[in-house]
């Protein structure tokens, strides 16, 4: 999961480009657009096609995440099977949906019901997980990436607790550093509460694993002058490293030392400079930055290098 | 009134009547033989037809893979290897026509199939379809829809042999659009679309 409740840090761009780099390394990737804003779907699919898919999401032919969980929300049965679409070779997408916001409204109640050991609660909280795992198995994927909305709501909680690992993308600015504190507190709280649910749950029931490991952070969207991070932004780097350790790593390790590495070096997953117009072009064309048609060749080569380093670390650690 | 002045429909009707008159005098087997000969003659005389030929197994002219209806749009596009957005539109139009029984289609149909075929997004699907029409791969059909042109069909059939495909389009003149003042604007000779 690529997660940071701070908006505008490049979650979606990072998700697409890592997926592309992993596909280049012969890995199969499933991308899940769990953001009701559908940014990832918009990135990878033409607007007219996406509009058509969203228009049909409430019908029997619906193929979005909402279509899958709708029977749960409406208490009309279990999750409905949906399919993923292949967007690049070995990269599949599950469509997001604006109506996921409706599902998110129901999730806090389902969470409470899970704490009360009610089957309906377990079924609701695990609905997305079950859907995604089914599709991942169908396509025999190596990695699943959730692109989530910038918030610390119930939907992201259910997703984070389903993940084996999460990545924190961040920008070098004051707001990103401040966001780390709330992020750490929230993560710790979610994991601890879910552990209570796990302790109380009956055997032989489908549950979220609830042990997301911190895979590392990716510093994004910094400006480069003369091959170096711009002086103004470079000043944030030491503060950022310190805050990552105190706000994320130490909090996770207080729950379980396995959830985060103590090594500062290991926690750096990669650095991705600001690719400005190349990132915009990649969104318009629906491809990774390195595959953009036209544009600056040097920037494309830099993008290939940056994302393949991240992909390689993911392959080594996961 | 000369024969040339007579309405075209009347002439066609007379030709049909004459054909029925002659055929009615023959046995069923002979009728079939005569009809097959006439069809074969006119097909070879006019190999490029403006109408969409019959589909599926009944058609002998729709290419070596046309009877394989199990081919996926992704495999079909990979097999044809279109190199531009316009060529990809032509390939997808061909697939819609012969594998989805959809001879008339809109931009959304092409875009949806493009997604299903795991192809990259079109920079602008509407423009790509317009360019495909201008360049003769598609022709306008009813109610704002498009259909594959005869030349476009041959082009796709010849792919991935680019030389043969290019030859198929050699005789096609790009569509010209009338301007308000009656002047004609130069059609876009370039591919007009992004190179893949």
Percent of chain A beyond pLDDT 90?
A: 60
Q: Note the pLDDT tens digit of each residue in A274-306.
A: 888 888 899 888 899 989 988 889 889 999 999
Contact B116 A287 (CB under 8 A): no
Q: Does the pLDDT at position B3 exceed 60?
A: no
Number of domains in chain A: 1
Residue A6 domain-assigned (yes or no): no
Q: Which residue is closest to B124 within chain A, CA to CA?
A: A46
* Number of residues assigned to chain A: 318
Which CATH number covers residue A184?
A: 3.40.50.300
Q: Note the pLDDT tens digit of each residue in A63-72.
A: 999 999 999 9
Contact B118 A87 (CB under 8 A): yes
Mean of per-residue pLDDT scores for chain A: 90
- Which residues in chain A have their CB less than 8 angstroms from residue B121's CB? 44-46, 284-287
Give the confidence band of B180 by pLDDT, cuts at 50, 70, 90. low
Give the confidence band of B153 by pLDDT, cuts at 50, 70, 90. very high
In this prediction, residues A213-227 reach a mean pLDDT of 85
Q: How far is B192 from chain A (nearest CA, A)?
A: 14
Residue A150 domain-assigned (yes or no): yes
Contact B121 A46 (CB under 8 A): yes
- Which residues in chain B have their CB less than 8 angstroms from residue A287's CB? 120-121
Mutation target to probe the A interface, by most A beta carbons within 10 A, among B83, B89, B120, B191 is B120
| Residue among B74, B115, B195 minimizing CB distance to A46 | B115
A192: containing domain: 11-317
Judged by a CB distance cut-off of 8 A, whether residue B111 touches chain A is yes
Domains assigned to chain B = 8-51 (no CATH), 73-173 (1.10.10)
In this prediction, residues A20-39 reach a mean pLDDT of 94
| Residue among A52, A88, A286 minimizing CB distance to B108 | A52
Q: Which residue is closest to B126 within chain A, CA to CA?
A: A48
Give the confidence band of B194 by pLDDT, cuts at 50, 70, 90. very low
Residue A1 domain-assigned (yes or no): no
Q: Which conformational region is residue A117 in: left (phi greater than 0), alpha (psi within -120 to 50 degrees), or beta?
A: left
Residue A186 domain-assigned (yes or no): yes
Residue A2 domain-assigned (yes or no): no
Contact A48 B125 (CB under 8 A): yes
Give the confidence band of A223 by pLDDT, cuts at 50, 70, 90. confident
Contact A85 B115 (CB under 8 A): yes
Mean of per-residue pLDDT scores for chain B: 76
Q: Note the pLDDT tens digit of each residue in A75-128.
A: 888 899 999 999 988 999 999 999 999 999 999 999 999 989 998 999 999 999
The answer to whether the CB of A36 falls within 8 A of the CB of A149 is: yes
Q: Report the pLDDT value the prediction gives residue A98, as an integer from 0 to 100.
A: 92
- Which residues in chain A have their CB less than 8 angstroms from residue B72's CB? none
Q: Does the pLDDT at position A174 exceed 60?
A: yes
Q: Report the pLDDT value the prediction gives residue B5, as an integer from 0 to 100.
A: 54
Q: Which residue is closest to A89 within chain B, CA to CA?
A: B118
Residue A4 domain-assigned (yes or no): no
Q: Which residue is closest to B117 within chain A, CA to CA?
A: A86
Residue with tokens 């707001």: A175
Residue A139 domain-assigned (yes or no): yes
Q: Which residue is closest to B193 within chain A, CA to CA?
A: A293
- Which residues in chain A have their CB less than 8 angstroms from residue B120's CB? 88, 285-287, 291
Residue with tokens 């198995």: A137
Residue A206 domain-assigned (yes or no): yes
The answer to whether the CB of A118 falls within 8 A of the CB of A5 is: no
Q: What is the SS3 string spanning chain B?
A: CCCCCCCHHHHHHHHHHHHHHHHHCCCHHHHHHHHHHHHHHHHHHCCCCCCCCCCHHHCCCCCCCCCCCCCCHHHHHHHHCCCEHHHHHHHHHHHHHHHCCCCCECHHHHHHHHHHCCCCCCCCHHHHHHHHHHCCCEEECHHHCEEECHHHHHHHHHCCCHHHHHHHHHCCCCCCCECCCCCECCCCCCCCCCEC
Q: What would the two tokens of residue A267 be?
A: 């926690």
- Which residues in chain A have their CB less than 8 angstroms from residue B111's CB? 46, 48-49
B187 or A100, which is more confident?
A: A100
């Amino acid at each position: 999961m690529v997660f940071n409740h701070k908006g505008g840090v490049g979650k979606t761009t990072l998700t697409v480009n890592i997926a592309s780099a992993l596909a280049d390394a012969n890995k199969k990737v499933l991308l899940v657009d769990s953001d009701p804003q559908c940014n990832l779907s918009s990135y990878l699919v033409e607007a007219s096609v996406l509009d058509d898919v969203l228009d049909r999401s409430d019908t029997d032919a619906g193929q979005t995440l909402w279509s899958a969980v709708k029977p749960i929300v409406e208490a009309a049965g279990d999750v409905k099977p949906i399919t993923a679409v292949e967007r690049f070779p070995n990269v599949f997408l599950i469509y997001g949906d604006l109506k996921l916001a409706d599902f998110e409204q129901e999730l806090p109640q389902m969470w409470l019901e899970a704490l009360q050991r009610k089957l309906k609660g377990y079924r609701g909280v695990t609905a997305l997980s079950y859907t995604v795992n089914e599709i991942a198995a169908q396509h025999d994927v190596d990695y699943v990436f959730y692109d989530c909305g910038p918030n610390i709501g119930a939907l992201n909680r259910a997703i984070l607790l389903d993940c084996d690992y999460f990545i924190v993308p961040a920008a070098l600015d004051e707001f990103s550093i401040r966001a780390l504190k709330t992020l750490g507190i929230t993560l710790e709280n979610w994991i601890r509460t879910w552990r209570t649910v796990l302790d109380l749950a009956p055997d032989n029931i489908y549950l979220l694993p609830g042990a997301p490991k911190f895979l590392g952070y990716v510093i994004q969207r910094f400006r480069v002058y003369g091959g170096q991070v711009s002086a103004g932004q470079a000043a944030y780097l030491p503060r950022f490293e310190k805050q990552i350790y105190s706000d994320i790593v130490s909090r996770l390790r207080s729950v379980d030392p396995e959830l985060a590495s103590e090594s500062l070096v290991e926690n750096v997953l990669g650095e991705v400079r600001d690719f400005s117009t190349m990132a915009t072009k990649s969104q318009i064309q629906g491809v990774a930055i390195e595959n953009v048609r036209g544009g600056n060749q040097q920037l494309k080569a830099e993008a290939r290098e940056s994302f393949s380093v991240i992909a390689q670390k993911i392959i080594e650690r996961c | 009134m000369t024969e040339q002045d007579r309405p075209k429909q009347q002439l066609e009707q007379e030709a049909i009547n004459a054909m029925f008159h002659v055929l009615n005098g023959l046995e069923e087997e002979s009728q079939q033989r005569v009809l097959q000969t006439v069809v074969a003659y006119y097909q070879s005389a006019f190999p490029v037809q403006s109408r969409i030929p019959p589909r599926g197994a009944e058609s002998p002219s729709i290419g070596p893979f046309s009877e394989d209806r199990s081919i996926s749009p992704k495999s079909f596009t990979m097999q044809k290897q279109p190199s531009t957005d316009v060529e990809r539109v032509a390939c997808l139009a061909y697939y819609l026509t012969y594998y989805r029984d959809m001879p008339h289609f809109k931009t959304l149909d092409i875009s949806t199939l493009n997604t299903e075929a795991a192809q990259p997004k079109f920079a602008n699907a509407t423009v790509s379809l317009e360019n495909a029409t201008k360049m003769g791969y598609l022709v306008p059909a009813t109610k704002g829809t498009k259909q594959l042109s005869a030349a476009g069909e041959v082009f796709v059939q010849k792919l991935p042999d680019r030389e043969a495909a290019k030859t198929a389009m050699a005789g096609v003149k790009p569509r010209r659009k009338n301007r308000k003042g009656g002047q004609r604007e130069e059609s876009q000779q370039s591919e007009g679309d992004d190179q893949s």
